[in-house]
């Protein structure tokens, strides 16, 4: 699916963006819906207008399915490991609905980010969970500063819908 895109070293790209003053700080702030994953469940993340973003490994006991509240992206869903979920979300803040979805609020770390430029063109890279991930101009590459290997793509539309820029690029 992504074989036609050149593979790039996302860590080298991040270092170059940092050296050029193109890195800012953002934090996910919008509430999400989440439900316990069924062990063995595989979640395929789709971004409206773009297609498949990623496919999870089978869920383990305690993992969660998170759904962004972002109609422009199709309210995409993704799998979050149990430990990561506990670190990044607080709640539940609502009762379960018929499908077991409940509201949670992000509390994850402030992430460093840069926006992929037209000059960098579309590319693919290895995501922290081992899958190939694509990035296109306008997309955002985010990194947990406490865990540099935790570097991944957020589609431009999803970033605009769910994140807040705390420090704009070049100002921190």
Domain-wise residue ranges, the chain: 10-167
Prediction pTM value: 0.88
Residue 117: how many other CB atoms lie within 10 Å: 13
Q: What is the distance between the alpha carbons of residues 103 and 89, in angstroms, rounded to a whole number? A: 10
Q: Provide, rounded to the nearest whole percent, the portion of the chain with pLDDT above 90.
A: 85
CB 102 within 8 A of CB 95: yes
Please give the average per-residue pLDDT across 141-163, as a whole number.
94
CB 129 within 8 A of CB 53: no
Predicted confidence band at 1 (pLDDT cuts at 50, 70, 90)?
low
Residue 140: how many other CB atoms lie within 10 Å: 22
Closest residue by Cα to residue 46 from 1, 83, 90: 1
């Amino acid at each position: 699916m992504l074989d036609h895109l050149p593979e790039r070293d996302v860590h080298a790209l991040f270092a170059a963006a940092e050296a050029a003053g193109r890195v800012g700080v953002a934090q996910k702030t919008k509430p999400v819906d989440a439900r316990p994953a069924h062990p063995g469940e595989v979640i395929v993340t789709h971004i409206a207008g773009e297609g498949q973003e990623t496919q999870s490994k089978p869920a383990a006991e305690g993992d969660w399915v998170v759904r962004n509240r972002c109609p422009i992206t199709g309210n995409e869903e993704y799998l979050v490991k149990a430990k990561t979920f506990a670190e990044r979300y607080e709640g539940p803040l609502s009762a379960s609905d018929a499908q077991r979805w409940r509201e949670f609020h992000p509390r994850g770390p402030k992430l460093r980010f840069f926006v992929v430029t037209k000059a960098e063109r579309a590319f693919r890279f290895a995501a922290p969970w081992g899958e190939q991930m694509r990035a296109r101009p306008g997309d955002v590459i985010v990194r947990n500063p406490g865990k540099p290997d935790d570097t991944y793509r957020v589609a431009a539309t999803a970033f605009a819908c769910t994140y807040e820029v705390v420090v704009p690029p070049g100002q921190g």
